[in-house]
Amino acid sequence: MEIIHTIKALKTFLQTFQNEKKKVALVPTMGALHKGHLSLIKMAQQQADVVVCSIFVNPTQFTDPKDLEKYPRPLVHDIKLLKKVGCNVVFMPSVKEMYPAPENWQINLGPAEFLLEGEFRKGHYQGVTQIVKKLFDAVNPDVAFFGQKDFQQVLMIKNMINHFNLPVKLVSCAIIREEDGLAMSSRNIHLSTSDRKNALILSKSLAFAKDNFKQLSLTELLSQAVTMIKNTPGVVLDYFTIVNGDTLLPIADKNEKNPVALVAAKVGETRLIDNELLG
């Protein structure tokens, strides 16, 4: 497994494969890897000849400096996991490498940028798309893999790809969950034992919405799911909503295409998000 720290060295390494028309896949991460990330690597291995996993904690997407500061960075652990799963290349640039000079980044990501997470974390998706575009430029991938858990992020990256008309295929991969249903997340490490138990209400509320989607009205679904969460100690709900997966606007009719239930809440001191496809 190659470990590369500069864009120039990465481009040089990948050039041989690209000259031979080998398919290159990118799995962008911020490290603190878990089985969810590894599932993306395995999916990429099935669809490409060379898999590049990037590890970069991107400062421009953090709206709270404290969140950036406490983001876990277990690099030795991450490298070990990537070697075990057979990843070809790990790209671990410095902040200076990715942002050599101050820059202004503001692109039109559509109205959905300002909904849900966009409302709670203003400017977050500008930072996300800024770094993903830089990674695309560095790797020049044929295909890129992202986790469905960050549903809105995937939509924003799709919009960024369309904005620049990039020749990259985006693949959204299913959420990987713990045995008890909790969505795997790098942030789960911050949950205390009681927080971890209380956090299960997020996946339970989503499962309730999925199981009862055909039987109950939208009003009943939302009301009961919200009540479940609000009755759980240590959990402060930001939103539970059922939306059109293309626009992120609340659906008015259960026959609308691509319905998705999305939830975000603070459990103890840790903010978690999760979702479930209802279609």
Co-location of 109 and 160 in the same domain: yes
Domain containing residue 263:
190-277
* Residue-wise pLDDT tens digits, 72-97: 899 999 999 999 999 999 999 999 99
Question: Which among 37, 77, 163, 190 is annotated as catalytic?
Answer: 37
Q: What is the CATH number of the domain that holds 217?
A: 3.30.1300.10
Name the nearest CA neighbour of 149 among 274, 44, 46, 243.
Answer: 274
Three-state SS at 13: helix
In a domain, 73, yes or no: yes
- Say if pTM beats, i.e. exceeds, 0.85: yes
Half-sphere exposure of 119 (CA within 13 A, CB side): 8
| H or E element in which residue 68 lies | helix 65-70
Please identify, among 121, 146, 173, the residue that sits at the C-terminal boundary of a domain.
Answer: 173
Instruction: For residues 130-146, give the mean pLDDT.
Output: 98
pLDDT band at 61 (very low <50, low <70, confident <90, very high): very high
Burial class (CB in 10 A: 0-12, 13-18, 19+), 64: exposed
Co-location of 166 and 201 in the same domain: no
E strands in the chain: 2-4, 24-29, 50-55, 89-91, 143-147, 169-173, 235-244, 259-267, 270-277
Number of domains in the chain: 2
Co-location of 82 and 196 in the same domain: no
Name the nearest CA neighbour of 10 among 88, 105, 72.
Answer: 88
In a domain, 99, yes or no: yes
Co-location of 162 and 199 in the same domain: no
Co-location of 157 and 29 in the same domain: yes
Co-location of 17 and 87 in the same domain: yes
* Residue-wise pLDDT tens digits, 93-128: 999 999 999 999 999 999 999 999 999 999 999 999
In the annotation, is 37 catalytic? Answer: yes
* Residue-wise pLDDT tens digits, 195-245: 999 999 999 999 999 999 999 999 999 999 999 999 999 999 999 999 999
pLDDT of residue 258: 95
Co-location of 159 and 78 in the same domain: yes
Please identify, among 141, 173, 205, the residue that sits at the C-terminal boundary of a domain.
Answer: 173
Q: Are 42 and 14 in contact (CB under 8 A)?
A: no
Co-location of 90 and 221 in the same domain: no
